[in-house]
């Protein structure tokens, strides 16, 4: 279990922490949008239908929709409903889809730019409440022993929380694009081949160390972990070639 350093008895005012049920709704709707089950400009089913379909309360669904709108994936129009604005085939200036243009090593370059800086800013800016939520995600990660897909989803959420903890909305938007590219098939295939139970256990120890560094406000240790993780991922990619 993660070791919490200096957790205060009461949380300070901070950005809203997304609960696990809300996150489940967000993840489910993102998968449907990215897979184009709900296409760009298409109206989502009504709130009543979605809440019934997902087995959640209407207020839970509305909170998830608020998050998706903040991320630019949907647009909510009063009296008309929610419409998909995210285009998985969104193009670059050259006219080709961003995800299709971005190869694994190119992704690593961008991660190398963003992730150490994310860790540094999170150490400086992350609120006690957000650190506590990060620890809860880590606790869920530590329950996974063999399910590579489940671990990858939690790992993604862990990184997203760190990005949000920077307090920089532009960095968060950039990192959401990185996560979109990471959803490409090559990433999933790599995890199926290489994310063994032993490697999961190794990553769990590493993320525990990263969490402790953030909680202890240790910039050097947090950024060093991010760099080491990128090196390990680079080795996996080179094994694929």
Give the pair of three-digit tokens for residue 200: 């999961």
Nearest to 211 by CA among 110, 137, 115, 143: 137
Query: How far apart are the C-alpha atoms of 154 and 170, rounded to whole Å?
Result: 23
- Decide if 3 is inside a domain: no
**DSSP result, 193-204:** HH--HHHHHHHH
Q: Is residue 58 a part of any domain in this protein?
A: yes
| Residue 159 scores a pLDDT above 60 | yes
- Tell me, what's the pLDDT at 128? 94
CATH code where residue 201 lies: 1.20.120.530
In a domain, 13, yes or no: no
**Tally of domains in the chain:** 2
Q: Same domain for 116 and 229? A: yes
Residue 67 belongs to some domain of the structure: yes
CATH (domain of 52): 1.10.10.10
Tell me the per-residue pLDDT of 37-77, one tens digit each, with 9 for 90 and over: 888 888 999 999 999 998 999 999 999 998 888 777 888 88
Q: Is 238 exposed, middle or buried (0-12, 13-18, 19+ CB in 10 A)?
A: exposed
pLDDT digit string, tens, across residues 173-226: 888 888 877 766 455 566 566 788 898 999 999 999 999 999 999 999 999 999
Contact by Cβ (8 Å): 190, 240: yes
| Final residue before a domain boundary, out of 49, 84, 119 | 84
Residue range of the domain that includes 162: 102-240
Is the pTM value of this prediction over 0.85? no
Are 198 and 128 contained in the same domain? yes
Domain boundary among 57, 84, 111: 84
Q: How far apart are CA 164 and CA 162, in angstroms?
A: 5
Identify whether residues 30 and 125 lie together within a single domain: no
Is 183 found in the same domain as 156? yes
Residue 84 in contact with residue 74, Cβ under 8 Å? yes
Shared domain check, 74 and 131: no
Residues 135 and 209 in one domain: yes
User: What are the angstrom distances between the C-alpha of 14 and each of 67, 166, 199?
Assistant: 16, 12, 34
Q: Sign (positive/negative) of CA torsion 214, 110, 153, 66?
A: positive
| pLDDT at site 27 | 83
Domain match, 64 and 110 both: no
């Amino acid at each position: 279990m993660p070791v919490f350093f200096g957790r205060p008895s009461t949380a300070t005012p901070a950005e809203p922490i997304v609960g696990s049920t809300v996150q489940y709704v967000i993840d489910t709707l993102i998968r449907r949008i990215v897979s184009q089950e709900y296409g760009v400009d298409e109206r989502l089913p009504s709130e009543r239908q979605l809440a019934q379909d997902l087995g959640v309360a209407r207020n839970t669904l509305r909170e998830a929709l608020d998050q998706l709108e903040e991320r630019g994936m949907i647009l909510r129009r009063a009296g008309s409903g929610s419409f998909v604005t995210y285009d998985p085939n969104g193009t670059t200036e050259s006219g080709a889809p961003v995800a299709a243009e971005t190869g694994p090593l190119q992704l690593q370059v961008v991660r190398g730019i963003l992730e150490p800086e994310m860790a540094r800013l999170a150490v400086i800016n992350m609120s006690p409440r957000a650190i506590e939520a990060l620890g809860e995600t880590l606790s869920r990660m530590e329950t996974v022993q063999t399910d590579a897909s489940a671990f990858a989803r939690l790992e993604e959420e862990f990184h997203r929380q760190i990005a949000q903890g920077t307090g920089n909305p532009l960095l968060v938007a950039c990192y959401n694009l990185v996560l979109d590219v990471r959803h490409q098939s090559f990433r999933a295939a790599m995890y199926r081949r290489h994310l063994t139970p032993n490697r999961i256990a190794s990553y769990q120890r590493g993320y525990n160390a990263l969490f402790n560094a953030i909680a202890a406000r240790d910039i050097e240790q947090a950024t060093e972990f991010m760099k080491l993780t990128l090196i390990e991922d680079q080795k996996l990619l080179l094994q694929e070639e």
